[in-house]
Chains A and B, each alone.
Chain A
Amino acid sequence: MKPDRPSSVAGTPVVAPLVFVPRTSKIPGAGPEPMAPALAAQVNPLIAAHRERAGALLPLLHAVQERLGHVPPMVVPAIAEALNLSRAEVHGVISYYHFFRSTPPGRHVVQVCRAEACQACGADELLAEAEALLGCKSHETRSDGAVTLEPVFCLGLCASSPAVQVDDQLHARMTPARLRQLGEQLEILA
């Protein structure tokens, strides 16, 4: 018995009955926004290929990112449903791991290693140089979408540091001059 509950008058409830209102919030991945048919056509086969695997979520997210370049929030509900997870769990995994992107990267991705071995050979200066050369801050994509600059932790080239990765290509013993050269070749200098 809850004494403070308002009494009803002639059987009419004072409190409006609960009505299910679909959420329309813009939290990434939270909305029921369905995948566009073109996106679904790309993602659904990947879901089908991975859903029965043990611990399927990471391999599936890798497959999606490999196909699309990132993991768009719109695919989260479908993945969650297929793997019997909540959308929050899938979003939680995507946001936990540095490797997964929710937004598309620039057309080129420049990664500068700033782990200790590379620091010992001037990685911090190299990263500052890269920011200046590309006209792009660390962790950001330039406004024209041409390039994303990311500091990373260890590319495994610690004996030939500083190391840089440009798209899929590793480069050892990087210098500002060579970085400029690479930037020129890819036409991504600021």
Chain B
Amino acid sequence: MNTAVAPVTVPVTVYVPADSAALAAGADAVVTALQTGCAQRALAMALVRNSSRGMFWLEPLVEVATPAGRVAYGPVTPEDVPGLLDAGMLQGGAHVLRHGITEQIPFLALQERLTFRRMGVTDPLSLSDYAAHEGWAGLRRAVTLDSAALVHEVTHSGLRGRGGAAFPAGIKWKTVAGAVSAQKYVVCNADEGDSGTYSDRMTMEGDPYMLIEGMTIAALAVGASMGYVYIRSEYPHAVAVMSEAIARATAAGFLGDDVLGSGKRFHLEVRKAAGAYVCGEETAMLESIEGRRGIVRAKPPLPALQGLFGQPTVINNVITFASVPIIFARGADFYRGYGMGRSHGTLPFQLGGDIRQGGLVEKAFGLTLRELLYGFGGGTRSGRPIKAVQVGGPLGAYVPESQWDVPMDYEAYAAMGAALGHGGIVVHSDKADMAKLARYAMEFCALESCGKCTPCRIGSTRGVEVIDRILVGRHREQQVELLRELCDTMLHGSLCAMGGMTPYPVLSALNHYPEDFGLVPATAAAPDPQLA
């Protein structure tokens, strides 16, 4: 024991995240070590299990409240704890793991956190913490507005669906608001199955009331009295936190028969998915909630008119709903002021894969991939050069270095045959075999296809076979032509994005990395009208 450290009598607040990613890095063992260490040293610690700041390379990130602000230490292992305590961690003392004031860490300081402004700051389930950090301000304003004004505010904010399709939320809400029915629903699509994405998980685990608030505002806007949050089964912590948050919010009058004394009814329920990727498609999700196999429905009818149980239904993704409270708290103009072109507001980008500083970066639309990869991400974790970056999940295109300076907005990415999707960014080093990844995309589609439409169900299996033939070099040029034709069929003939976007990773890999398919770059780089 270091006698230089005076025993602390007033408990010092120490934050250790309980986010899944922190737990996976050993946060609970760090808590045990802190409790033991403090007890041995007669130090008083008030522990708060916050959510993650989204700097996952520093997890478990332990923060200590000091008069100068919260000081960050990370990544902390249980073995580091005695040394940290002896170094005066509870007073913000110097240590090799100390990163200074958390909010001044460049990765965080350079972000524009609107939706994620409370992330890692508050205790996720504390209603008083939420209220103290601008919580419920949007809902309090929303209960004073009528349906038309609510829909107008969302439309004017420019908010578009953050799940991938980027459809204007206001238009969707307006359709549901205008539908005549005794029963309407609000459904949150939290079946975040895309590799490289975790912003929904973070939101549900780290700031659940924000999602509840956003869904409640949507319910007021369209006249819905019942809502569901459909959460993937791979996220047990998110299911637990959301369920508890709904119970607490209901008990406190933010949900239930009389939302904030408005006389309006809105009940919310968590539904656990069961591991079918395609249930992230909205109509397959509705089928699943209704208790059936998650088979995609043909549209029309639009879910906005005939959705869950055949009733008008607003379906949005977690981040879309989570963006709503701040739009009402600070006004549509405030939100609209961020971004570029027709992409307004911010997008939580999620850096993953072979990246040194993996984590969540919320920025206005318009920054470049290069800024994300090197400015925030710091290059690869392996130290190897970056070869390809998959943007927008398993159905997103592989973006080569020549396109890393394109501003990230929905239109610019669509123009180059890619998609921002849900903001997931997966980095591959020069070790990646792009033909293998293209094959994997087809294999994944074959595994996860719901089977309703032929291009997706059969095309994906044929796609694996064709790529296999390309790789062994049997009639290679001919097979490449066949693969392009197959992709064209899937792109235009599939019922939903599962089969319709699987060609994105396949064709982008083929177009930008022909040598991985055993092709001579010059001959294979034939411009493709779909994915130039």
Which residues of A pack against B, CB within 8 Å? 54-59, 61-62, 83, 89, 92-93, 96-100, 115-121, 152-161, 163, 168, 170-173
Contact of B291 among A83, A153, A160, A172 (CB under 8 A): A83
CB distance A170 to B24 under 8 Å?
yes
CA distance A173 to B440 in the complex (A): 22
Docked complex: B275-313 residues within 8 A CB-CB of A:
275-277, 288-294, 309
- Chain A nearest CB: distance from B375 CB in Å? 16
Contact of B20 among A93, A121, A157 (CB under 8 A): A157
CB distance B20 to A170 under 8 Å?
yes
Assuming the contacts A98-B274, A154-B195, A156-B201, asked whether A120 and B235 have C-beta atoms less than 8 A apart, the reply is: no
Return the chain A residue nearest B198 by Cβ. Answer: A156
CA distance A142 to B56 in the complex (A): 34
CB distance A58 to B272 under 8 Å?
yes
CB distance A153 to B236 under 8 Å?
no
The answer to whether B271 has its CB under 8 Å from any CB of chain A is: yes
Contacts of A171 in B (CB 8 A): 24
Q: Per-position contact with A for B335-374: 1 when CB-CB < 8 Å, else 0?
A: 0000000000000001111110011100000000000000
CB distance A120 to B354 under 8 Å?
yes
CA distance A120 to B23 in the complex (A): 22
- Chain A nearest CB: distance from B469 CB in Å? 22
Q: Which of A62, A157, A171 has the most CB of B within 10 A?
A: A157
Assuming the contacts A57-B291, A121-B353, asked whether A160 and B440 have C-beta atoms less than 8 A apart, the reply is: no
Contact of A119 among B201, B236, B358, B440 (CB under 8 A): B440
4 further interface pairs, Cβ-Cβ under 8 Å (given A55-B290, A153-B444): A97-B276, A115-B394, A120-B354, A158-B196
Assuming the contacts A56-B291, A158-B426, asked whether A117 and B271 have C-beta atoms less than 8 A apart, the reply is: no
The answer to whether B381 has its CB under 8 Å from any CB of chain A is: yes
Contacts of B359 in A (CB 8 A): 159
Contacts of B390 in A (CB 8 A): 116
CA distance A158 to B353 in the complex (A): 6
CB distance B271 to A58 under 8 Å?
yes
- Chain B nearest CB: distance from A161 CB in Å? 7
Docked complex: B414-445 residues within 8 A CB-CB of A:
424, 426-429, 432, 437, 440, 444
Q: Considering the complex of A and B, which 9 residue pairs feature the smallest CB-CB distances, nearest first?
A: A159-B358, A158-B352, A115-B195, A57-B291, A97-B274, A120-B353, A99-B275, A98-B275, A170-B24
Return the chain A residue nearest B236 by Cβ. Answer: A168
CA distance A172 to B22 in the complex (A): 9
CB distance B437 to A116 under 8 Å?
yes
- Chain B nearest CB: distance from A158 CB in Å? 3
Return the chain B residue nearest A56 by Cβ. Answer: B291
Q: Which of B293, B351, B382, B429 has the most CB of A within 10 A?
A: B293
CB distance A158 to B24 under 8 Å?
no
CB distance A118 to B274 under 8 Å?
no
Return the chain B residue nearest A164 by Cβ. Answer: B24
Contacts of A56 in B (CB 8 A): 291
CB distance B274 to A158 under 8 Å?
no
Contact of B25 among A62, A96, A156, A160 (CB under 8 A): A160
Docked complex: B233-247 residues within 8 A CB-CB of A:
233-236
CB distance B195 to A118 under 8 Å?
yes
Chain B interface residue bracket vs A: 35 or more
Assuming the contacts A158-B352, A160-B57, asked whether A172 and B196 have C-beta atoms less than 8 A apart, the reply is: no
Return the chain A residue nearest B276 by Cβ. Answer: A97
Assuming the contacts A97-B276, A154-B195, asked whether A159 and B292 have C-beta atoms less than 8 A apart, the reply is: no
Docked complex: B364-417 residues within 8 A CB-CB of A:
381-382, 390, 394
Contact of A99 among B274, B291, B350 (CB under 8 A): B274
Contacts of A61 in B (CB 8 A): 274
CA distance A54 to B225 in the complex (A): 14
The answer to whether B153 has its CB under 8 Å from any CB of chain A is: no
CA distance A83 to B290 in the complex (A): 12
- Chain A nearest CB: distance from B297 CB in Å? 15
CA distance A161 to B195 in the complex (A): 11
The answer to whether B193 has its CB under 8 Å from any CB of chain A is: yes
CA distance A175 to B409 in the complex (A): 36
CB distance B234 to A89 under 8 Å?
no
- Chain B nearest CB: distance from A41 CB in Å? 24
- Chain B nearest CB: distance from A188 CB in Å? 19
CB distance A121 to B274 under 8 Å?
no
The answer to whether B192 has its CB under 8 Å from any CB of chain A is: yes
CB distance A161 to B274 under 8 Å?
no
Contact of A159 among B236, B274, B352, B444 (CB under 8 A): B352
- Chain A nearest CB: distance from B498 CB in Å? 13
Contacts of B59 in A (CB 8 A): 160, 172
Contacts of B288 in A (CB 8 A): 58
The answer to whether B516 has its CB under 8 Å from any CB of chain A is: no
Q: Which of A62, A92, A100, A119 has the most CB of B within 10 A?
A: A119
The answer to whether B159 has its CB under 8 Å from any CB of chain A is: no
The answer to whether B197 has its CB under 8 Å from any CB of chain A is: yes
CB distance A120 to B427 under 8 Å?
yes
Contact of A120 among B233, B289, B394, B426 (CB under 8 A): B426
- Chain A nearest CB: distance from B441 CB in Å? 9
CA distance A52 to B513 in the complex (A): 55
Assuming the contacts A57-B292, A58-B288, asked whether A159 and B351 have C-beta atoms less than 8 A apart, the reply is: yes
